[in-house]
Structure formats: structure tokens, C-alpha cells
Structure 1
Amino acid sequence: MATPVFEEFDPASDCDCPGCVHWRRVSPRSLPGRLGGHPASRRALVVAAATSAALAAGHQASALAVPPTPPGPHRAGLPAGPEPGTPQGGKGPLHGGGGASVPPAQPRALTRTEIINRAKTWVDAKVPYSMSKYWSDGYRQDCSGYVSMAWGLRRNEWTGSLGGFGVKIKKADLQPGDILLFHNTADPEKGSHVVIFGGWTDYTHTYYTAYEQTPPHTRRLATPYAYWSHSDKYVPYRYKSLKAGAAGAEPGAALKAGPFPGAAYFGPGAENKYVTQLGQLLAARGGAAYYAESPGPRWSDSDLRATQAFQRAQGWSGADADGLPGPRTWELLAGGKGKDIRTAPAGAPASHGVPGYPGRNMFRPGADNPYVTQLGQRLAEKGYGRFYPAGPGPRWGEADRRAVEAFQRSQGWRGGAADGYPGPETWRRLFR
């Protein structure tokens, strides 16, 4: 087989292209000596060391072997306990605090903002996933218990009953607070799941912000429509007892008509409600990948880069795209006008001459940044989502490496050219 005509590995450290100069200045230093070098070389050393240790251990290895934990019921590949009868508990009363004696009643009326705000309480608390435990509010700590809580239902429901509290809608009608529900009537323990829709992340409506209860804990994550697996099985529903109120992409959009509060509310050291609102508006316009957690009141680099990405999406540059919101930026965001942020984070130097490629230092064990999320989302779009049982995220992991390797092999590359670490040519082909 012919050897690829390009070089995927990083060139010598004295490369003077603008991208390399930039990333050498801002990226974490590579580890020296035997811990440094190319990831594949370090991996070979680890394998060799592990092999030697195994041989030395001899017969003790078999005695200490532990069988792998079976996968979770609706998250294949994620460690979990043995599969239960269903992927969530059945219908039942609220738990504790007298909740068990509360009879079923008419569900409470809630606005979209109230639903999302309720959903965020579990995200902020990182409520652990469990089909047998109950959170302090009385709701079961699984996917259907989470939706029961967000919708303010009087009982803990399950995927087989949640649809009765909503009305079916079309994809085009989805708004924050609605749900995407898959109940496998033939075999409920296989695939059944439900998530809360938090708003579209891009104008193509291929990704949305999902609030969901899943191992290991409640999360908020940009997710391909309708879901990572069984995508064609999910049905959108709208809460029957929805109360009239602000309908934005996230809580905070209710303030979208408010005037620009002033430049003093944004930038290093700022901590106020307008920073939270800015982040929520940016996430709704395609900037969710810049936030590892939900936007908050303390100004961060995520806010700056997401703001700059939105500004660049409008075709601005220089001082007009400095990452600090001015009156015009605020007007476009608050009014739902202008162009959405592209899927790829804007403003990254063209390392090795490839636009948007941030350099290999962004993709290695321990890396945690929005470029890892961007890479994973693009791989999922290209058909490699099967490697992400829990969805792409900002922390580099084995799922990312295996997905990249599969893509590289699809290009006909082998050996070191298909090591699972994205080089400039891998990036160029993924995003062209």
C-alpha cells in the first residue's frame, strides 16, 4: 500500500508558521524526555511497560482479573450495574417528605423558562443517576424522574406514561421545555430514554442543547437531533399544562428586549446576571460548544471566545470582534438577529496552514477544551457517533481517539498515520 504523501506528525518544534508560533506560546508545555514526544510513541512505551509488568506478575494476573462491568441499559459502553427490567423505574408517588401520600393531581402550569430553570437545578447539583434512589425533591434520579421533576408532575412517571402529559409536535415546532421521548414498547429495557429540549445550537437545526439524566449525573450537552442512538425513534412532545410566558432558547431570553446594560458589566472580573444572560443567548445562537458547563454570572474565557465567535460570524474583524459585547452585539443577540455561530469555533490560528486547526496539543490525554467538543461533533456528523455512547464533550478520551482512528482508516491510512490523534490533514478532511 502506498505511503500517504502528507505528514500527519508534528514537524520540528522550530516550525515558524503563524499557527505553530501561536500554539507554542499559549499551549501547555510537552513533557520532557521519555514522557514527551509523539502520543503514539508514549503509548508504545506504556504498552511495553504494561507487558513487562504482566509477565512479572505471572499467575497472579489471572487471579486478579475482574470481569468487565456490563453496559448500561440505554447507554451502551458506559459502565453500569446489571441491566434492570426497565431503563427507568415505573410509575410511583413522590418519595420522602410526605410525598408518598400526595395523590395524583392535575399537573401544575409552568412557563418554558420555569421548566428549564427546574431542569438546571439538577444540572448544577450534578444529581447522580440512579433508578432506585430519590433526590431531596422526591423525584427518582433517572431520565423519566428528571422530566417528571422539570414538568412539575405530581408523581414519578416513566417513558411509557410521560407522553400522556404532552401533545405530539413536529421537529420544526420544538421550543425549550419540550421533550424528545423514545419508549420502546416491544422491549422497554432496550433504548427507552427521554431528554429535555433546551434550544437549537445552530441555524441548520442539526444540534440542540439537551438536558438529560444519564450516568454518571445530570448534564447539559449539545446533542445531534434527535439523539446519539435510535435517532429515528424519538418523538417530540410539548407539555400540556404549558403556561404562557417568554419563549426563548434558554432562560434569560425572557430579558431579550432589555437594553444593553453597558460595557462595564462585561470583561475580566465581572460577575452579574448580564454575563449569565449573555452566555445563554450565545449558547442559543450556536455557541454552546464554548461552555463546558452552563453559562454563569462570572465572566470567563468561554464568554470572551463565544462572543468573539458570534462577532466574527457577522463578518466583523479587528476591534469589532474583540470578544467584548457592545451595543450592536447585544442588539443582534437579544433580538434574535444576525448570523448564528458556525459549528467550528472561530478565531483559531491556522496551525500548519489549516484554518481552524488548533494544533495537536489540544488533543491529548488530559486535554479539556471546546476544540475536543467540536471535533467530536464533527465526527458524529460524519457517521462516527457510535464511538460516543455518552456524546462528545470537552474532555479528550478514548472515544475521541477511536473515532478519529476510524475516520483516518476510512481515508486509507495505516500505521502512524492512523493513530487516532488529529493532525492538520485529518482536520482539513473532516471540516472541508
Structure 2
Amino acid sequence: MEAPVFEEFDPAGGCDCPGCVHWRRVAPFSLPVRGGGHPASRAAHRTLALAAAAGTALAAGQALPAAAAHAPALPGADAAGEPAAPRGAAAPLQVSATAATRAKFPETTRAEIIKRAKKWVAARVPYDMDKYWSDGYRQDCSGFISMAWNLGTNQWTGSLAAYGERITKEELQPGDMLLFHNSADPQKGSHVVIFGGWTDYTHKSYTAYEQARPHARKQATPYAYWSNSARYVPYRYKGLAPSSGGSGGQTATAFPGRKYFGPGADNKYVTQLGRMLVERGAGGHYRSGPGPRWTDADRRATRAFQLAQGWTGADADGLPGPATWSYLVKGKGKDVKGGSDTSGGSASHGVPAFPGRGLFRPGAENRYVTLLGERLVKKGFGRHYEEGPGPRWTEADRRNVEAFQRAQGWRGGAADGYPGPETWRRLFT
């Protein structure tokens, strides 16, 4: 019995253009058109179904022509400075096991988002819009964000916005994304990256995690991007866990309540409050850095911030309320000038007060790390920086501090790369 002839079959045995090659690979897993799939995949689905139905009637040795639903070639953008990173269409994960039913916005945290992004960077996953990594995510820029946000499906630049809430530049925090979708011509410049945190207090540059040729990378990037900067839009993932609100260990954006602050309090919100106060210039009140146990340093730092806003009386009692919390979380109001108490922590002879050892440890992220780095560079001890000083403590900071300490003739524990009061004094004298 002769095989029936269908329009969907390519009599030439299959087109080798990039578009056809792409759809032959992903069509069996693609979504239907009504579910967001590419129209070209519908023809391929019909082809596979008809081929299966007709296969039993074919004579032995008779081969069916290859199925091919034509799609346009997908060239990379060639404008100067733009990533050569064409985007694939939305598609399910490319894994062999049957995926379990997932929530529309699977819950995750900022730390988990950055951890997943770093995993691809460490593996130097090659850029390829037609291939899928071992975790099932497509190896292009939108597949990278789908992976980092743990969406359980491969989205593209035209659909990712539906998974996020639009935010402002000032609200950006690690794990958010910066998206440029060129709706007029998606293959011309469209790109998306994960925001990893500001590189300095000016907010003119940030750490970007992205998938672009030749492989996944992390690098300091001018805001919002190298090209088409004005067209990038910041978004926050809708499935972000409520307890993952901020960078550097912060855990909430909504005021948790007065009961979490004051004598006897010991919880994560006290730590978050202290870190936000340090960012706003009140770090001089802390001897060893913010921690979960409420101390008088927290009260003094909070009061200093309240006074800096011009508040008096009960509004400047050193205990945070909704207004104080909102100003700190949203970066509103005035910073604390001086940032020290009057019991010996104030600056003298032009040397800024040492803010405490706890602000210079792995995981620390604050303006004092930037201040330290800039001073090290000025003193000629910045050779270990690859991208320049920033607010996040890195091994480069530690090695530069160690070099400075050794230049003072110190050895052993005195030259461990972590600044203390004497290191600080000598650096700023």
C-alpha cells in the first residue's frame, strides 16, 4: 500500500535552513498555538501524528520523507555592542522524565535565583538557541532567565514579562531581571539579564548574569545595558518568596511589626534593620556589625536615621515604625551624616570612624566596603581588583587589604586581609 501524500511533508526530504532545523528539534515538545507555541510547530505536530497513523501501512523498507514546518532563519543581532543572542520560542523543558504539575509561578528566593545563575556561569554553558542544557532549559538568554527563575518551562523575551512585576530602577535587587523585547523585530537586539547588584553607590553600573555568546557570564555592566539602554525594563519575579525581599540577607519589604524590635528582641528583622541603617550611613554606631540580637547600637543607629529626616520627639525614639521601615526599604529620605555616636566612635583628624569588623566579611555588602576599596586603590593596593571596588565584599578586597597589612610589616593574624581599627586608621590617615 502506498503511503498517502500530505502537504506537510517536504518532498525534498527536509529543508536545512536554521529555522527548519530548530523546529524539527523542538516541535515534538512544543506548545500548541493556542497555548503560546509557534505556528510552525502545529504543522510539524500534524505531520508526526499522520506519520504515526500511516506507518503501520507502509511496506517494508519504505521510508517516509522528513517532516519540516518552515520557519524563518534566526540570525543574531549584528549592531555594534549588542549581544549576538537570538531568542528561541516558548517551549517546555527538554527532559525525558515526565514533569510533575507545577504552579504558575513556582516559589523561589533571591538567593536561589543567583545560585542557579552562578551554576551556569561556572559551567560556562555555551550559547545555543537550538540546544538544551542537562537541566532542560534552552541555552539562550530567555532560557537562562527561565532557568534562574525556576519557571519549569522555556519562555522567550516576548513572554517573560508576564512572569514579573514591573519595578523602578531604585527598587532593583539581586534576582530581578532587566528585559528588552523589541516587539517590532524580536531578533533585533532583544535581550534579558539577571540583575546581580550594584557595583558602587552611584548606581551607574551593576553586576549582570546573562547568557550570550560564547557562554554564560557574569560581568560589570553599565545601567541598563551596553546598547539600547533606554529600552530595558526592570521586573521582579511574581513567585518571589515573601521572606527573600532584599540583598545581603535582607528578608522583608513590608514592616514586620513593632514587636520584633526593642530590648530582648532576637530575630532576622533586627539584622535587616541594621544592614539597611549601615547602608544609609549609620554604621559608625556598630562595633561588630548588625546582628539578630537587639542592642543599644541598633537604637542609636535608628535614632540617628530618624533625626536625619528631621523627625523629633516620639518619631525619633530609636525604635523603627512603619515610616522608618518604609524609608529604609525604599531608599527614601536623607542619609545619616557622620554616622557615629559620641562615645568614642566618631571620626577624628579627618579619619572616618571604623564601622566595625562585621561589615568586612564574606557575604557583606555595604558602602563601607566600597569606601575601603577606593582607599586601597588610592594607596596603590588595588591590583587584585578586576572590575574595581564595589559594595560587595570579595576575595579581591581581602587580598588587597592583606597586601596593605603586609606593607606595614605585619605578619600572621595581623595580616589576614580583614581590616581592623588600626588598618582602617592607617589607610585613611
TM-score range, shorter chain: 0.3 to 0.5
- Which fold has the larger relative contact order, with Cα–Cα distance below 8 Å and residues 6 or more apart in sequence? 1
* TM-score normalised to structure 2 length: 0.45
Return the index of the structure with the highest Cα Rg.
2
* TM-score normalised to structure 1 length: 0.44
